[in-house]
Amino acid sequence: MKTLHLYLTRQIVASLLMTVMVFTFVLLLGNALKEILPLLVSGQVNFGVVAQAVGLLVPFVWVFALPMGMLTATLLIFGRFSADQELTAVRASGISLLSLVSPILLLSLFLCGVSALVNMYVGPACRVAYNNLRLKLRAEFSTAYLPEGRFIKDFHGFIFYVGKNRGGDLRDVMVFALKNETNVDYTILAPRAKMDLDMPHRQMKLTFFDGKQTTLSEGHDRMSNFSEAQLLFDLEQESKGPARPKIDDMTFTQLWAEAADLERTTKLPISSGAVSREQRQAREKEWERERKKLLTPVLFHLHRQVAFSFACFGFTLVGIPLGIRVHRRETNVGIAIALLLVAVYYSFVLVGQSLNTRPEYFPYFIVWAPNFLFQAIGAVLLWRGNQGGG
């Protein structure tokens, strides 16, 4: 019995590793890594930077790759186990299906714990670190802001022309400062300039050397030479200081703190005037609706992180009896069924996400529905299979 358990567990683990690697690779290519690979091809970054980006993205995509891999592994292994008549031989020896699959169910519960760690802490933290890496790369490749050889009108009130840009060392720079969006206020011509980017504070500083500034006024122009001059720009006017993670990039503890903060700051203020009971009740209802609109997206992401952590168990409960019923050796059949079940599972999540600003629909409970559905269906199928109905 122990030998059989060990054999089956090894088969599942080997298949799990293979399928997780495949799904991770596919999800990496389809995710934000597409923003990094072109930089490697063009020679703007080295392989080490790409490896760092991949390392930061892997925990993020494991949120999806782990459950998908476990589902596919159970479908493939138990499909072959049944097709090769090994299951029939095991039953003939008096071993029940539940006894046979108990190590696999324990493995799925262990993966639920791993998924919880990834979903609630490691994945969001790595996603934030990846976004910071993107900002750093954008800072290093300053040609994204001041490409050479053309006029740049991306900065409010200014037009730039840069002859050459070599990693922030600029040559043959022209600056036109506009007044009222159309008239030129002054111009700067400099043979050499230096660009410094402060991405955490979203600022760009241009330092001009040995240039000329011409101020255009009514009737005459005033020209002056300078050895050094500076201009400072806010790259994002609305984003001063270090960027705060978005709600869907927050860890579980950050979301919990955000929910507590919203609960504390959205309490109904005490009315200073005399109001009737009906007016007070109407005001309380309106205030409660607005408070729930703010709180519901945070609650949705809290519940989603926890609910996703149980996907491995639900997929395993469904995958074992379904693989036995299909009893096919072909890998493509197992993968096709797995993708179909994954699409069904995550469709509930997409529905909940589309309603996360509609508290009346309780979207944070919708993300639990596929777990209950898959676990209930899987438990019934597994029980029937154990009774010999598979």
pLDDT tier, 117 (very low <50, low <70, confident <90, very high otherwise): very high
- The residues, ordered by sequence, that sit 6+ positions from 345 with a Cβ below 8 Å of its Cβ are 67, 311, 314, 315, 370, 374
Is the model's pLDDT at 138 over the cut of 90?
no
Mind listing the pLDDT tens digit for each residue in 262-300? 777 655 555 545 557 777 677 677 777 777 877 888 899
Output the pLDDT for position 238. 35
SS3 127: helix
What is the per-residue DSSP string for 342-369? HHHHHHHHHHHHHTTT-GGG-HHHHTTH
Written as six digits, the tokens of 32 are: 């934000």
Tokens standing for residue 274: 């005399």
Integer-rounded Cα radius of gyration of the chain: 30
Mean pLDDT over residues 83-91, rounded? 82
pTM for this prediction: 0.67
- Point out which residues pair with 207 in neighbouring strands: 194, 230
Contacts for 72 with CB less than 8 Å, ≥ 6 apart = 15, 19, 23, 319, 334, 335, 338
Q: Read off the pLDDT of residues 335-349 as tens digits, 9 standing for 90 and up.
A: 788 889 989 999 998
Are 155 and 233 a contacting pair, CB within 8 Å?
yes
Give the H or E element holding residue 217: strand 203-217
